[in-house]
Amino acid sequence: MKKKTLTTSFGMPVADDQNTMTAGKKGPALIQDIHLIEKLAHFDRERIPERVVHAKGAGAYGYFEVTHDVTKYTRANFLSKVGKRTEVFVRFSTVGGEKGSADSERDPRGFAVKFYTEEGNYDMVGNNTPVFFIRDPLKFPDFIHTQKRHPAKNTKDANMFWDFLSLTPESIHQVTILFSDRGTPKSYRFMNGYSGHTFMWYNNKGEYFWVKIHFKTEQGSQNLTREEAVRLAGEDPDQATRDLYDSIEKGDYPAWKVYVQVMTPEQVEKYRFDSFDITKVWPHGDVPLQPFGRMVLNRNPENYFADVEQSAFSPGNFVPGIGPSPDKMLQGRLFSYHDTHRHRLGPNYHLLPVNAPKAAPEFSNQRDGFMRVDANGGGGPNYYPNSFGGPEPDPSVGQPPIDVSGMAARHSYTLSDDDFVQAGNLYRNVMSDQDRDHLIGNIVSHLRNAQKRIQLRQTALFYKADEQYGSRVAEGLKLDLKEVKRLAAMSQEDRVKATKE
Ligand code: NDP
């Protein structure tokens, strides 16, 4: 095969890629060496802003196949027929670590799926845990600051980490999952994915339902112990990234069964707690999992930067038949994801091949902007309404109206199931003896690095979830159990006062 000639970025053949052009044998270098200048200047600009969260990730292509009929719930075309396949791109990630951090760190994992449907791209931007630490987007930047680096020391800081969590009791459910061994999955193939948020599905009759989506790993839920995770962080910090790539490369394709939990608007209205509160699951006993699909990952990206680093997901990418719920965290994310990508990749990031709709045409009136790399709408009209044959909205794809009323105010969640019930159920009813032993060990080894008063405040929350849970953490930290019980009996306001600096 004829060898390709090396060129500049603009296609000019390059004669020499080893010797800089200089004045005389010893130099100095000449500014007319445009090849050198182009090479250095591009290198200087290789890095794009790192994602503030979910910076380290791995991705793969595959397909989603419908296995059960859900057309009574949703009109989404990609879910319209059993056997129908849709191409997907999936990005898994850790959350708090930087781009070079270790894959085995204790952290939730991102689980983002882009479905390239014939009605546009639908993104399910979930995590490997069904709940979240907080339920109001106003708290999100503060929360993330506490999981990242101390403003002066630039180190991870147990005081910030536990101070915020112990001042935010609704986090107790997610903290319990994070400090179980599910906080350190064996690799991306061995974890479940959850939409977390509630979403709307609506059908052709204009009826709507509230749903949560679950991806259950067919590889089995497998996790690392704390000791294994710490060892791998040193010995093989990229192990989960490598594992995903290698397993696909050798034809061992990871797969997930996909389920939906469905509630009618009437059920949600009457439910014993706020069904849109993302710190809570819908117990399977109340709302069973209904299978509807299977996802298989069978193709590695050819270039990491092009496909994985530049991939951009948004929970606001819907298709007809799927819409948002009033979940406040979701509402915040609907803004924040597109905003992040516009900052990170520019306003035309939807044109990058991994992000562009593959199975549907794009006929928007958005034009121009940095890096417009397609035909930019050509000579067609760039406004609506127009009488020059431009694209028309289709009222038939609209979401059904939902009834909303009330005072515009900063409302807090009103609860009938308190924030400790589900964390306690997980500890008592779901975990095995070994899970509980590991949970306590994982918490103690981390919380012991925080100030005593913060340890006490947080341990009181564990005690409120379950007395044995709190007592065992207290024992591990050598805390006075009487003091923990005293704090647990107080209101959160009094507990905060009693544990002031
Ligand atoms: P079920 O007994 O029906 O389900 C328990 C669920 O817990 C299963 O989905 C299981 O996942 C999952 N699980 C097992 N170990 C852990 C762990 N260490 N951390 C997190 N999840 C785990 O119970 P309910 O639906 O009544 O819920 C009871 C508790 O289970 C909840 O309070 C919640 O903490 C947890 N849970 C519930 C989920 C839900 O959507 N209802 C989803 C995930 C967790 P798997 O099937 O993969 O083994």
Ligand 1 atom at minimal distance to the Cα of residue 173: 34
CB atoms within 10 A of CB 390: 15
Residue 290 lies in a domain: yes
How far from 86 is each of 217, 245, 258, 416, 457, CA to CA, in Å?
19, 21, 14, 41, 49
Nearest CA to ligand 1 atom 1: 284
- Same structural domain, 106 and 153: no
Residues ≥6 apart with Cβ < 8 Å to 159: 449, 450, 451, 454
Structure tokens at 249: 């490369």
Q: How far is the CA of 429 from the centre of ligand 1 (A)?
A: 9
- Same structural domain, 110 and 153: no
Ligand 1 atom at minimal distance to the Cα of residue 221: 47
Q: Kindly tell me if the per-residue pLDDT of 417 is higher than 70.
A: no
Q: What's the domain range around 255?
A: 48-132+185-351
Residue 172 lies in a domain: no
Place of tokens 């995590």: 127
Q: How far is the CA of 284 from the centre of ligand 1 (A)?
A: 8
Ligand 1 atom at minimal distance to the Cα of residue 212: 40
Q: Kindly tell me if the per-residue pLDDT of 416 is higher than 70.
A: no
Q: Kindly tell me if the per-residue pLDDT of 414 is higher than 80.
A: no
Ligand 1 atom at minimal distance to the Cα of residue 435: 18
- Same structural domain, 305 and 196: yes
How far from 463 is each of 168, 170, 429, 475, 487, CA to CA, in Å?
15, 14, 16, 12, 9
Residue 68 lies in a domain: yes
Q: How far is the CA of 461 from the centre of ligand 1 (A)?
A: 20
The two most distant CA atoms of the chain are separated, in Å, by 85
Q: What is the pLDDT of residues 146-198, one digit of tens each?
A: 999 999 999 999 999 999 999 999 999 999 999 999 999 999 999 999 999 99
The answer to whether the Cα torsion of 427, 432, 437, 438 is positive or negative is negative
Q: Which positions are annotated as active-site residues?
A: 54, 127
Residues ≥6 apart with Cβ < 8 Å to 337: 125, 312, 313, 314, 315, 316
Element (H, E) at 364: none
Q: How far is the CA of 430 from the centre of ligand 1 (A)?
A: 7
Model confidence, pTM: 0.97
- Same structural domain, 152 and 77: no
- Same structural domain, 122 and 266: yes
Ligand 1 atom at minimal distance to the Cα of residue 180: 18
Query: DSSP class of residue 365?
Result: -
Query: Backbone phi, then psi, for 369, in 5-degree steps?
Result: 90, 165
Q: How far is the CA of 426 from the centre of ligand 1 (A)?
A: 7
Residue 494's identity, in one-letter code, is D
CATH number at residue 266: 2.40.180.10
Nearest CA to ligand 1 atom 35: 426
Q: What was the pLDDT predicted at 355?
A: 98
Average pLDDT over residues 422-436: 98
Query: Which of 351, 380, 399 is the C-terminal boundary of a domain?
Result: 351
CB atoms within 10 A of CB 5: 10
Nearest CA to ligand 1 atom 10: 430
Q: How far is the CA of 354 from the centre of ligand 1 (A)?
A: 33
- Same structural domain, 106 and 155: no
Average pLDDT over residues 383-396: 95
Overall number of domains in the chain:
2
Pocket, ligand 1, Cβ cutoff 6 A: 130, 177, 180, 182, 192, 216, 221, 281-285, 422, 425-426, 430-431, 435
Q: What is the pLDDT of residues 268-279, one digit of tens each?
A: 999 999 999 999
Nearest CA to ligand 1 atom 9: 284
Q: How many helices (H) and strands (E) does the chain have?
A: 15, 10
The strand ranges marked E within 264-399 are 290-299, 322-324
Q: What was the pLDDT predicted at 501?
A: 87
How far from 193 is each of 258, 286, 291, CA to CA, in Å?
9, 20, 14
Ligand 1 pocket test: which of 430, 433, 438, 469 has the largest number of ligand atoms within 8 Å of its C-beta? Answer: 430
Structure tokens at 335: 């803004």
Residue 369 lies in a domain: no
CATH number at residue 491: 1.20.1370.60
Q: What is the pLDDT of residues 83-131, one digit of tens each?
A: 999 999 999 999 999 999 999 999 999 999 999 999 999 999 999 999 9
Rounded Cα distance between 479 and 457, Å, is 11
Q: How far is the CA of 110 from the centre of ligand 1 (A)?
A: 18
Q: Kindly tell me if the per-residue pLDDT of 142 is higher than 80.
A: yes
Residues ≥6 apart with Cβ < 8 Å to 476: 440, 441, 443, 444, 448
- Same structural domain, 102 and 215: yes
Strands 85-94 and 109-117, bridge-based pairing: antiparallel
- Same structural domain, 452 and 347: no
Residue 64's identity, in one-letter code, is F
- Same structural domain, 221 and 340: yes
Ligand 1 pocket test: which of 221, 422, 426, 433 has the largest number of ligand atoms within 8 Å of its C-beta? Answer: 426
Q: What was the pLDDT predicted at 262?
A: 98
Query: Which of 299, 326, 351 is the C-terminal boundary of a domain?
Result: 351
Rounded Cα distance between 220 and 201, Å, is 28
Residue 7 lies in a domain: no
Query: Which of 324, 351, 378 is the C-terminal boundary of a domain?
Result: 351
Nearest CA to ligand 1 atom 20: 177
Residues ≥6 apart with Cβ < 8 Å to 284: 261
- Same structural domain, 458 and 335: no
- Same structural domain, 102 and 237: yes
The radius of gyration computed from the CA coordinates of the chain, to the nearest angstrom, equals 26
Q: What was the pLDDT predicted at 1?
A: 81
Give, in degrees to the nearest 5, the angle at Cα 459 between 457 and 463: 120
Average pLDDT over residues 192-217: 97
Q: How far is the CA of 177 from the centre of ligand 1 (A)?
A: 9
Rounded Cα distance between 365 and 11, Å, is 33
What is the percent of the chain with per-residue pLDDT over 70, rounded to a whole number? Answer: 99
- Same structural domain, 333 and 461: no
Nearest CA to ligand 1 atom 5: 430
Average pLDDT over residues 258-282: 96
- What's the mean per-residue pLDDT of the chain? 97
Rounded Cα distance between 160 and 174, Å, is 17
Residue 159 lies in a domain: yes
Residue 160 lies in a domain: yes
Nearest CA to ligand 1 atom 41: 283
Residue 43 lies in a domain: no
Nearest CA to ligand 1 atom 6: 430
Rounded Cα distance between 275 and 290, Å, is 18
Q: What is the pLDDT of residues 16-72, one digit of tens each?
A: 999 999 999 999 999 999 999 999 999 999 999 999 999 999 999 999 999 999 999
The strand ranges marked E within 283-350 are 290-299, 322-324
- In DSSP terms, 109 is beta-bridged to 94
